[in-house]
Structure 1
């Protein structure tokens, strides 16, 4: 499947997390430890915010570890909120429009997982996408379909409720086709002001997802680590798997839950699909 990370906090260069830590996202593209596949070489993408305008996006179809343009961009760009994703295809084509993150206006979205037997229910799912949103669908992945279904169900107003309705819709359509346990997902989405994360699977056995402890605690645990002293207390990381072996630095996102990261504080809550 895939690996991804979200960074939010003091502006940094993405190379700090993509290249410079022990188990960076680039290292995970070749040596993932917790994913379904060790290699994640079917494309990559990065999305970043640098103000109130819509986020920038850079995507490529080759392996992330060999892309010189990604390295150049990550070395010179600075952002206080960015997404990065390395892809392992679950069957759809390796093409730029299938690489994450996906963007609609100020929103970014990325996903690890799958809709089981997506090819069998793709048409029925697409019919639930709002007509004004449908022309913006560019690729052929289940991940992008989930994004536009969530947008259709109100992502811009209430992300947790919209994602719950999206999952409920997918599970209902799948059941009508005799498909059991169709949804496997860890998802990150943002409007540039807040970040929402989701961990859920229909079978109750979701792919891995972790978040960093508060910076104050990390400074106490690792007083010699310069990065923990450079960034502010509001800095957070959410990752498919930890970026290195720092005991006590990471906590696992609970099964069937969602989180919100915002300026006023963070929260974790239970996630349950809503039948539609």
Structure 2
């Protein structure tokens, strides 16, 4: 599994969340407390928004704790909206193209979790993409493919609905392949204006997700695990939830796959 952190609010230096706190994302890259594995050393990435509609992107295959460029960038870059991720591979080579976040136009996306039995349904899912969306495929991970499924389902026009329909496509592909669906999905994504997150699993083990206000209400973080347990009022996001964070606050709604025939395990 992986660790990630996202932020929306008043512009802050990226180091305030990624490198400076006692249990920062860099600390979590080698000493995570709520992940299956404490080490997340298979690369890292940043996506941040500034004056242009599309995000800046920096990814590398080094462990986050050993790249001095990452610390320097976080010390200098200030942003009101960014996503950061440290990777523990559940499949796919350690390459820049497989490091999160992934971007498409103004959208950025990162994921903690996996599609169970992915190699048996990967071809079917890729073949289900429209040609224009399939041409955006750069890496080999299940995470990137899920992001492309969201885009294919009309992410810009119907954000929660697109994620719900993409989830249903994965579950249905598993069943057609004779597999018990095994999807774990805790993801964050943004269009440069609003920050979204989803926590869902087909079993009772959805990866963790927390949120908290930051800097006395100047912004809000959403994270895989808290980066400062003593200084933050962290709220656990329940399983089967869809989170929307905007300038007017945060909303948490129930989340389920699109098909009413699919059983939801809470």
Query: Residues 128 and 152 of structure 1 are in contact (CA less than 8 Å); yes or no, is this contact kept in structure 2?
Result: no
Kindly provide the CA deviation profile for residues 60-86 of structure 1, in whole angstroms up to 9, marking residues without a partner as x. Answer: 001000001111111111100000000
TM-score (norm 2): 0.95
**Structure 2, gaps ≥5 residues long:** 261-266
1:114-159 deviation digits (Å, cap 9, x = unpaired)? 0001011000000121211111110000000000000000111111
Aligned-residue Cα RMSD (Å) equals: 1.3
Q: Give the aligned partner of residue 114 of structure 2.
A: 114
TM-fit CA distance, 1:36 = 1.0
For each residue in 1:179-214, what CA deviation from the matched residue of structure 2 results, as whole angstroms up to 9, or x when unmatched? 2132101011100010110000011320100000x4
Instruction: Confirm or deny that 1:270 pairs with 2:254.
Output: yes
**Greater Cα offset, 50-59 or 242-251:** 242-251
Aligned to 2:223: 239
Q: Counterparts of 1:145-224 in structure 2 under 5 Å?
A: 145-212=145-212, 214=213
Q: Is 2:187–2:199's contact at 8 Å kept on the other side of the alignment?
A: yes
| Distance in structure 2 (CA, Å) of the matches to 1:79 and 1:24 | 17
1:65 aligns with 2:49: no
TM-score of the superposed pair, with normalisation by structure 1: 0.91
Q: Which residue of 2 aligns with 1:225?
A: none
- Residue 275 of structure 1 and its aligned partner are, at CA, apart by 2.7
Residues 234 and 263 in structure 1, CA contact (< 8 A), matched pair in contact too: no
In 2, distance between residues paired with 1:256 and 1:208? 11
Partner of 1:31: 31
Asked if structure 1 preserves the Cα contact closer than 8 Å seen for 2:9 and 2:247, the reply is no
Cα distance in 1 for residues equivalent to 2:165 and 2:2: 24
Q: Give the length in aligned residue pairs.
A: 260
Q: Post-superposition shift, 1:49?
A: 0.1
Contact in 2 for aligned 1:204/1:256 (Cα 8 Å)? no
SS at match of 1:81: strand
**What is the rounded CA distance, in whole Å, between the counterparts of 2:178 and 2:204 in structure 1?**
18
In structure 2, the residue matched to 1:250 is 234
Gaps of 5+ in 1: 216-227
SS in structure 2 opposite 1:242? coil
Secondary structure in structure 1 of the residue aligned to 2:100: coil
* Residues 52 and 192, structure 1, Cα contact 8 Å, conserved in 2: no
> How far, CA to CA, are the matches of 1:36 and 1:46 in structure 2?
23
Q: Give the drift of 1:177.
A: 1.3
Aligned equivalents of 2:231, 2:54: Cα separation in 1: 37
